[in-house]
Amino acid sequence: MTSKRATKGEYIETDTGNKVSRRSQIIGTTNIILGGKTVIQAEVIIRGDLLRAHQNGAEKQGTPVAVAIGRWFSHYPLKIADHVFIGPSSVIEAALIGSHVSIGANCTIGKFAIIKDYVKVLDGTVVPPNMVVPSFSIVAGRPGRVVGEIAEGEIEGMDLREVYRGIGNG
């Protein structure tokens, strides 16, 4: 096995196991925290420069989810939990995406949407702003609606360990 420095491949691997594509565009890196073993693929744009502008006193800095919308315009932090897969050309403006969520290709997750754990968002879905998607649901359509439930047996397939291992080792 070659050392991490010598491999001039598609992905840059960090000490905590994050794999970041050289062709991704990450803006405002100081405000982005990767939890480790995160894969950022090619052509991804992550905006960290759009931070929350109006911090009110009661709110602690770095609170993962801000639910209060004042009458002032503000950006808000986005938290993506573990084992989340986001398909190509999808745009995420949600407030929170829970664990084991799989989002298909060409989806739009609206502002302030909250997606709970074990949710499947099918290809081409438009999740409207402020929608809260309950756990174990399947969402599809424009605008997105809950169209089904994830059965207990299907949960195993939503673990992304194998997918993580398969990326960047070629």
Partner 1 sequence: MSSKRVSNMPPPPKPPTTLASTLIIAEHASLTGTHLIALGANTAIHPRTKLISTFASITVGSNCIISERSIIGLQSEPENDVEREGLVLEDSVVVETGAVVEARLVGTGTTIEVGARIGKGAVVGKHCKIGPLSEIGEGEEIPDFTVIFGNGMRRIDRSGVENQKLKTIARQVEVLRKLIPSNLAKFQ
Footprint of partner 1 (CB under 8 A): 8, 22, 25, 27, 45, 47, 49-51, 53, 72-75, 89, 91, 93, 106, 108, 110, 124, 126, 142-143
Query: Cis (ω within 30 of 0) for the bond into 88?
Result: no
Residue nearer to partner 1 on the CB measure, 30 or 151: 30
Coil, strand or helix: which one is 48? coil
Residue nearer to partner 1 on the CB measure, 5 or 161: 5
At its nearest, how many Å lie between partner 1 and the CB of residue 126? 5
Instruction: Find the angle CA(136)-CA(144)-CA(85) to the nearest 5 degrees.
Output: 55
DSSP 8-state code for residue 60: P
At its nearest, how many Å lie between partner 1 and the CB of residue 50? 6
At its nearest, how many Å lie between partner 1 and the CB of residue 72? 6
Cα 78 to Cα 4: distance, rounded to the nearest angstrom: 30
Q: Side-chain half-sphere of 126: how many Cα atoms within 13 Å?
A: 4
Residue nearer to partner 1 on the CB measure, 31 or 38: 31
Instruction: Scan for tokens 């990326």, then name that residue.
Output: 167
Residue nearer to partner 1 on the CB measure, 133 or 150: 133
At its nearest, how many Å lie between partner 1 and the CB of residue 162? 26
Q: Is 139 exposed, middle or buried (0-12, 13-18, 19+ CB in 10 A)?
A: buried
Q: Side-chain half-sphere of 54: how many Cα atoms within 13 Å?
A: 7
Residue nearer to partner 1 on the CB measure, 131 or 150: 131
At its nearest, how many Å lie between partner 1 and the CB of residue 124? 7
